[in-house]
Chain A
């Protein structure tokens, strides 16, 4: 409870500091286009990684062994890949158009209000749903790591995040995200090292797993190889389509910041993901040696922390809170932008201004909190509209259509069809062959639509 009270007070301080600095839409939605590589890299990594990194990831190693590592195996590549494929066109287009949101950027690139409207709808749906899932995760993990009821934990975390995001927008969010990113990285490395040390070191941990469940140590663990590789691809190319990743490129001061950004992104990502590997391997060894009792994969991380001691539970709680708040902050801002700025503009109506953005932030936060605390079935359905949905709907838009000119109607169709394919396939996921990922299939459909539609201009290059 003390941790949550401190959290709300800190959030109020950040909100007070930033409220006076967010005086324009560019400040509120794009941090004033004034950020450097370190700030954007740390904040981008924090926004990208949710509590799954600290809890679900290690648990997945317990269940699938090396197969779980394919989700994060693209981390050394994704920072540079994002800058090559998305960052450079975004920064060039922002300099030319002054856009402050991704739908606005796509609309300006293709001189199309329809494109802007479809992108805004896709982002609003995906962000509100993902936000509700974050709320649910806080409610589930609150009792484990914070010792309070799930509802209290979810309400406090959303109150704190909404406070600084509604008043300061991304001026506040960027600074808070960067601090949270540093907390996550520090906590992750410490917990990973401690978990491996508790298991007798990396070699002893691997030996313990090899004695009891050697199938976990194969190249794909217990996952079918095609499924492991599809997850690798989904999380590799999918980084180029997540709006909370792409949004960070709009914050950059200028193109020179891009040069150092992949190094910062890769370093921050690699440090934070050590918790997935270290707690996964160390905790699994402890469980297989009978030193901790694990009933379900998601128990692995909490039981390992308890084995390490109260300091580890507190540190993991701080990491989980930082991960959730940073992800929620970006999702709040993106959905508020879509609802208060992009959709009205695309429909030819006056934009909501800063007051409208603040109201939209409050409305989205309240709605997502209620959705997240609703029935588990509702949340399970919302969980579908996450990473895969954004990959399916936005990958062709953020890569091909930001770099090259395409027919606006084709782009709008690619986003709508891609998202639709993902949702339909997710509904029948159990019957799909291993390796057919709905998010990738949706992205493929969108790419095909763009590729088969006639190219309209003579010069397709981004300015």
Chain B
């Protein structure tokens, strides 16, 4: 396993275990662990665009979960979760995948 991936794997594992410790670590875990899996694909493919996707995914999850914490127990928590976590990214990540899929990267015509 390459050193950078090894480091990221240790970080992801540590955050999974540390999630209950504090809200900050919980937000970090939600932001970092799914992004780690995309970063793994970036390392495997050696595709820098996937590093950007991993950063975007981490930022999105971090921002929404942070906002959820800040919103407290008010009734706007439901639309926040449904619209920001569920609704808005619904078309985004399939589109990003299609844009960064290996064939698209190689400039080949679409099937």
Taking Cβ atoms with an 8 Å cutoff, the residues of A that contact B are 65-66, 69-70, 72-77, 79-81, 83-85, 88-89, 206, 210, 214-215, 217-221, 225-226, 229-230, 232-233, 236-237, 240, 255-260, 262-263, 265-266, 270, 277, 281, 399-400, 403-406, 433-437, 440-441, 443-445, 447-448, 450-452, 455, 460-462
Contacts of B76 in A (CB 8 A): 217
Answer whether residue B80 sits at the interface, using C-beta atoms and an 8 A cutoff: yes
Whether the pair A460, B2 counts as a contact (CB closer than 8 A) is yes
Min Cβ gap A435→B in Å is 3
Within 8 A of A (CB), among B58-111: 65, 67-69, 71-78, 80-82, 85-86, 89-98, 101-104, 110-111
Taking Cβ atoms with an 8 Å cutoff, the residues of B that contact A are 1-2, 5-6, 9-10, 12-14, 16-17, 19-20, 23, 26-27, 29-30, 33-34, 37-38, 40-41, 43-46, 50, 53, 57, 65, 67-69, 71-78, 80-82, 85-86, 89-98, 101-104, 110-111
Contacts of A215 in B (CB 8 A): 73
Whether the pair B1, A455 counts as a contact (CB closer than 8 A) is yes
Nearest chain A residue, comparing its CB with the CB of B110: A259
CB contact between B38 and one of A84, A445, A448, A450 (< 8 Å): that residue: A84
Whether the pair B93, A80 counts as a contact (CB closer than 8 A) is yes
Whether the pair B20, A83 counts as a contact (CB closer than 8 A) is no
- Count chain A CB atoms within 10 A of each CB in B26, B81, B89 and give the residue with the most: B81
Asked whether A259 and B101 contact (CB < 8 A) given A229-B30, A444-B17, A462-B44, the answer is yes
Task: Give 9 nearest A-B pairs by CB, closest first.
Answer: A219-B77, A435-B20, A218-B73, A219-B68, A444-B13, A80-B97, A80-B93, A263-B94, A85-B37
Whether the pair A218, B86 counts as a contact (CB closer than 8 A) is no
Contacts of B85 in A (CB 8 A): 73, 76
Contacts of A83 in B (CB 8 A): 97, 101
Contacts of B13 in A (CB 8 A): 443-445, 447-448, 451
Whether the pair B23, A225 counts as a contact (CB closer than 8 A) is yes
Whether the pair A403, B101 counts as a contact (CB closer than 8 A) is no
Given A229-B30, A451-B1; 16 other pairs, CB 8 A cutoff: A77-B93, A206-B78, A217-B76, A217-B77, A218-B77, A225-B26, A226-B26, A230-B20, A233-B34, A236-B34, A262-B93, A265-B94, A404-B1, A435-B20, A447-B9, A452-B10
